[in-house]
Amino acid sequence: MIRSHVLICGGTGCTSSGSAGLVTALEEELQAKGLQDEIKIVKTGCFGLCALGPVMIIYPEGTFYSRVTVGDIPEIVEEHLLKGRIVDRLVYNDAADEAANVTSLNDTAFYKKQHRVALRNCGVINPEIIDEYIAVDGYQALGKCLTEYSREDVIQILKDSGLRGRGGGGFPTATKWQFAYNSPSDQKYVVCNADEGDPGAFMDRSVLEGDPHAVLEAMAIAGYVIGANQGYIYVRAEYPIAVKRLQIAITQAREYGLLGKDIFGTGFDFDIDIRLGAGAFVCGEETALLTSIEGHRGEPRVRPPFPAVKGLFGQPTIINNVETYANIPQIILKGADWFASMGTEKSKGTKVFALGGKIVNTGLVEIPMGTTLREIVYEIGGGIPGGKKFKAAQTGGPSGGCIPASLIDTPVDYDSLIAIGSMMGSGGLIVMDEDNCMVDIAKFFLEFTVDESCGKCTPCRVGTRRMLEILEKITDGRGEDGDIEKLEELAKTIKATSLCGLGQTAPNPVLSTLRYFRDEYEAHIYEKRCPAGHCKKLARFTIDPAACKGCSACARKCPAGAISGEIKSPFTIDQNKCIKCGACIETCKFNAISKK
Amino acid sequence: MKSLAELAAIRDKMKDKVVLREGMTGTRVVVGMATCGISAGARPVLNTFVEEVSKENLTDSVTVTQTGCIGICQYEPVVEVFEPGKEKVTYVKMTPDKVKRVVAEHLKNGRVVSEYTIGNAQ
């Protein structure tokens, strides 16, 4: 009889920090202690606190252990599982609540403000066992739709719920489904966009790894509503764990008759196949994705016609993002009112964010729409490491923009973010502190889009390259009067004339950093100075004559021979010879050298 | 699977197996599992509790867990029952047979088995 469950995260983050080894070690230790019939090991999807991996939760106590190593296993088994004594040194110590070691996961500041809908089963069930999904009401929503609701009913429920696409655009899901429903055709398709490409975003991967059946169930519901009997999941080949779990889930669902012919004896047929993407960012754009599934080179095409009218193989197609699908079974089971009660007036429900950059709790969080950026960064995210100051956050990846510190109380929802020149995007949230140069950030994202532009249309192919060249000029200290204006003009043209979303949004990081941090651009151009001290070519190393003891340690260390002076009197750096390597700063024992 | 009834059957069968992960709710049964408790026979007591609670379909409302030394080693195996809003009940010198009675009378029907409690042992 099982009296305790040990949940070990098998997501990509914890797998790379060694969680698979923990499972083996724990199995062996339980055998050795004769506890194998009392304790159950459950390999789950992502818990969200990836920075602290590998993580482990022991129920029924709900004890949350972080950074567990194989060496810790005997102690956990002996102390916790056998004797019931919690191993304090491994318990996740909540940074925001240092007074007490919080032992239960749900009591931590990281989880308290979260509200998990799309992630509700991630880190709770074993994604490779369909029975566990069924135990938490899995496939009940599909059954309900097929037996109780008409196709129009389901669209109405989605409409009432206010669900909007979670992939970035925020288009109302019900409207999309209605269009596909209205388009007459013998053959229609349901597609899941799992080509998550924004740098720093990994929520779709975590849903697929932690709760793949939720996506399958929602796709079957979509098939029923629009009259499709074939679905495709387009997932990146770089997500091997997600692909494997999807394959297992599809096989198990077919065995149970939850995919295939005559589902629940209602005469409804639906099946799903996986298509692997080769990692081109543009294939996350819906028309390029469909072209890629068809077997062609992943290039976008002109819309309209939209996929709901003329999509995959020229047939009406619903294409939704992973997180959007993950919400749908819950909406069907708990009702549109329940979903619409969360969030803001125009952005209902919750949104998953991948926190990254200069933040303590790197990981995955799901919060009601309208939570402020301050709450996300300081309460859930645990603030900025090293006592540094918050400078800005980038949302929406290379298509989005930055939110400066002055707007940290902005509620995070679709419309508020657009109003301040950023966008929700798929949910990557990169935090920057005072050491980040905003011109460099814009350059980073533009480098990404230049790399990923498919080359089909000129504004995106050539225009983004020209913008990048200007940014490189500025960060190298060769910027000149008129560069900012040239950037703005190029940005305007690229946005207006590019073929698809990639090009139309590519200039956003530049425009939004220009909007909030124009002074940093100007400092680079006119004063040849990087205010954050990040741009190497603009850095100036100087010796404070008051603090310098004249020991000559730095002069001996300097590989360029740029430092000179007389022993026991202050030394100086020749700026023309200095290669900005920073070796002198590390050498000086008196902190007399500074970088500006 | 051809019907919703079959789906519901799987769900009901599996529900007990994942309910543990909802954390601690309702009544808490805590078995002292320090060295003294284990040597006095706390392991079979703990396992019987888990089995009986499941057999009586009480898993939604009762959580069985273990703890360290409660401090009254001469009375081990010691079991404490915490019910929300009520005084804690401490059972001493427990055996698997006594456990069955505690589950049937106390946990299921709310009648404390006073002859096993510490008050009676002292």
How remote is the C-alpha of A269 from its chain's centroid?
34
Q: In 10 A of CB A567, how many CB atoms?
A: 10
- The DSSP call for residue A384 is -
Q: What does the block give as tokens for A177? A: 């489904």
State residue A298's pLDDT score.
Answer: 92
High-pLDDT (> 70) share of chain A, % = 97
Q: Given pLDDT bands bounded at 50, 70 and 90, which one contains residue A100? A: very low
**Which residues does A contribute to its contact with B (CB < 8 Å)?**
1-5, 7, 38, 42, 59-62, 82-85, 104, 106, 124-125, 131-132, 134-140, 143, 147, 256-258, 262, 264-265
Domains and CATH numbers, chain B: 23-121 (3.40.30.10)
Closest Cβ–Cβ partner in B14, B31, B66 for A134? B14
pLDDT at A464 over 80: yes
Residue identified by tokens 């990281």 is: A110
What is the rounded (10 degree) CA torsion for A145, A151, A152, A154?
Answer: 30
- How far away is chain B from the Cα of A265, in angstroms, using its nearest Cα? 5
Q: Between A86 and A500, whose confidence is greater? A: A500
Model confidence over A566-590: pLDDT tens digits?
A: 999 999 999 889 988 889 998 999 9
CA distance linking residue A327 with residue A173, whole number of Å:
11
Angle CA B36–B42–B48, to nearest 5: 175
Residue identified by tokens 């990081």 is: A509
Which amino acid appears at position B87 of this protein? Answer: E
State residue B64's pLDDT score.
Answer: 87
Residue identified by tokens 């504004």 is: A459
State residue A97's pLDDT score.
Answer: 46
Q: Identify the burial level of A586 via C-beta atoms within 10 angstroms of its C-beta, where 0-12 means exposed, 13-18 middle and 19 or more buried.
A: exposed
Mean per-residue pLDDT, A12-38: 91
Chain A hits for B20, Cβ within 8 Å: 2, 4-5, 59-60
Q: In terms of Cα–Cα distance, which of A402, A394, A345, A339 is closest to A370?
A: A345
Q: What does the block give as tokens for A578? A: 């200095």
- How far away is chain A from the Cα of B26, in angstroms, using its nearest Cα? 12
DSSP line for A141-185:
HHHHHHHT--HHHHHHHHHHHT-B-SSSS--BHHHHHHHHHHS--
Residue identified by tokens 């998953």 is: A352
State residue A105's pLDDT score.
Answer: 63
State residue A106's pLDDT score.
Answer: 66
- How far away is chain B from the Cα of A124, in angstroms, using its nearest Cα? 7
CA distance linking residue A381 with residue A359, whole number of Å:
6
Q: Do B14 and A132 touch (CB under 8 A)?
A: yes
Q: Given pLDDT bands bounded at 50, 70 and 90, which one contains residue A96? A: very low
pLDDT at A38 over 50: yes
- How far away is chain A from the Cα of B27, in angstroms, using its nearest Cα? 12
- The DSSP call for residue A306 is P
Q: Backbone phi, then psi, for A252, in 5-degree steps?
A: -65, -40
- Cβ atoms of residues A9 and A19 within 8 Å: yes
How remote is the C-alpha of A133 from its chain's centroid?
24
Closest Cβ–Cβ partner in B1, B24, B66 for A83? B66
The full 3-state SS of A196-212, as one line of letters, equals CCCCCCCHHHHHHHHCH
Listed in sequence order, the DSSP H helices in A435-560 are 438-452, 458, 464-475, 483-497, 501-505, 508-526, 553-557
Residues in chain A: 596
Neighbouring residues of A517: CB distance < 8 A, sequence distance ≥ 6: A392, A402, A404, A438, A439
Closest Cβ–Cβ partner in A2, A3, A60 for B46? A3
Maximum separation of any 2 CA atoms in chain B, in Å: 61
State residue A286's pLDDT score.
Answer: 95
Neighbouring residues of A153: CB distance < 8 A, sequence distance ≥ 6: none
Q: At how many degrees (to 10) do helices A483-497 and A464-475 cross?
A: 160
Q: In the predicted model, what is the mean pLDDT of chain A? A: 92
Q: Given pLDDT bands bounded at 50, 70 and 90, which one contains residue A519? A: very high
Mean per-residue pLDDT, A333-355: 95
State residue A580's pLDDT score.
Answer: 85
DSSP line for A252-267:
HHHHTTSSEEEETTTT
- How far away is chain A from the Cα of B82, in angstroms, using its nearest Cα? 14
Q: Given pLDDT bands bounded at 50, 70 and 90, which one contains residue A191? A: very high
CA distance linking residue A489 with residue A498, whole number of Å:
14
Q: What does the block give as tokens for A267? A: 């005469």
Neighbouring residues of A131: CB distance < 8 A, sequence distance ≥ 6: B10, B13, B14
State residue A294's pLDDT score.
Answer: 96
Nearest residue of A to residue B22, measured between CA atoms: A60
Q: Between A2 and A230, whose confidence is greater? A: A230
Closest Cβ–Cβ partner in A1, A131, A258 for B14? A131
Q: In 10 A of CB A358, how many CB atoms?
A: 23
Q: Do A135 and B11 touch (CB under 8 A)?
A: yes
High-pLDDT (> 90) share of chain A, % = 77
Chain B hits for A139, Cβ within 8 Å: 7
Domains and CATH numbers, chain A: 4-104 (3.40.30.10), 130-340 (3.40.50.11540), 350-433 (3.10.20.600), 438-526 (1.20.1440.230), 540-595 (3.30.70.20)
Angle CA B14–B17–B21, to nearest 5: 125
Residue identified by tokens 């009067």 is: A481
- Selected for mutation to probe chain A from B2, B6, B14 (highest A CB count within 10 Å) is B14
- Cβ atoms of residues A414 and A347 within 8 Å: yes
Model confidence over A120-177: pLDDT tens digits?
A: 998 888 999 999 999 999 999 999 999 999 999 999 999 999 999 998 889 999 999 9
Q: Identify the burial level of A591 via C-beta atoms within 10 angstroms of its C-beta, where 0-12 means exposed, 13-18 middle and 19 or more buried.
A: exposed
CA distance linking residue B73 with residue A465, whole number of Å:
77
CA distance linking residue A64 with residue A115, whole number of Å:
18
Q: Do B7 and A134 touch (CB under 8 A)?
A: yes
- How far away is chain A from the Cα of B36, in angstroms, using its nearest Cα? 10
Which amino acid appears at position A151 of this protein? Answer: R
CA distance linking residue B118 with residue B74, whole number of Å:
11
Chain A hits for B1, Cβ within 8 Å: 256-258, 264
Across the beta sheet with A4-9, what order do the strands follow? A39-44, A4-9, A56-59, A63-65
Closest Cβ–Cβ partner in A38, A106, A257 for B23? A106
CA distance linking residue A538 with residue A523, whole number of Å:
10
Q: Do B2 and A104 touch (CB under 8 A)?
A: no
Residue identified by tokens 């329940």 is: A338
Q: In terms of Cα–Cα distance, which of A402, A318, A398, A396 is closest to A351?
A: A396
Mean per-residue pLDDT, A589-595: 89
CA distance linking residue A241 with residue A485, whole number of Å:
46
Q: Residue A385, preceding bond cis, omega within 30 degrees?
A: no
The mean pLDDT values, 10 residues at a time, for chain B of 122 residues are: 85 80 77 82 90 87 80 84 86 93 91 88 68
Q: In terms of Cα–Cα distance, which of A281, A277, A285 is closest to A243?
A: A277
The helix (H) or strand (E) run that includes residue A31 is: helix A19-33
Predicted TM-score of the model (pTM): 0.85
- Taking the CA atoms of A20, A23, A26 and A31 in sequence, report the sign of the dihedral they define: negative
- The DSSP call for residue A372 is B
Chain A hits for B4, Cβ within 8 Å: 143, 147, 264
Q: Identify the burial level of A595 via C-beta atoms within 10 angstroms of its C-beta, where 0-12 means exposed, 13-18 middle and 19 or more buried.
A: middle
Model confidence over A220-273: pLDDT tens digits?
A: 999 999 999 999 999 999 999 999 999 999 999 999 999 999 999 999 999 999
Q: At how many degrees (to 10) do helices A212-226 and A203-210 cross?
A: 90
**Which residues does B contribute to its contact with A (CB < 8 Å)?**
1-4, 7, 10-11, 13-15, 17-18, 20-21, 23-24, 30-35, 38, 46-47, 50-51, 54, 63-68
Mean per-residue pLDDT, A39-52: 88
- Cβ atoms of residues A587 and A543 within 8 Å: no
- Pairing type for strands A230-236 and A189-194 reads parallel
CA distance linking residue A184 with residue A174, whole number of Å:
17
Q: In 10 A of CB B60, how many CB atoms?
A: 12
Q: Identify the burial level of A359 via C-beta atoms within 10 angstroms of its C-beta, where 0-12 means exposed, 13-18 middle and 19 or more buried.
A: buried
Q: In terms of Cα–Cα distance, which of A359, A367, A353, A361 is closest to A397?
A: A353
The terminus-to-terminus CA distance of chain A in angstroms comes to: 65
State residue A2's pLDDT score.
Answer: 84
Chain B hits for A7, Cβ within 8 Å: 21
Q: Do A143 and B18 touch (CB under 8 A)?
A: no
Nearest residue of A to residue B29, measured between CA atoms: A60
Q: Between A527 and A110, whose confidence is greater? A: A527
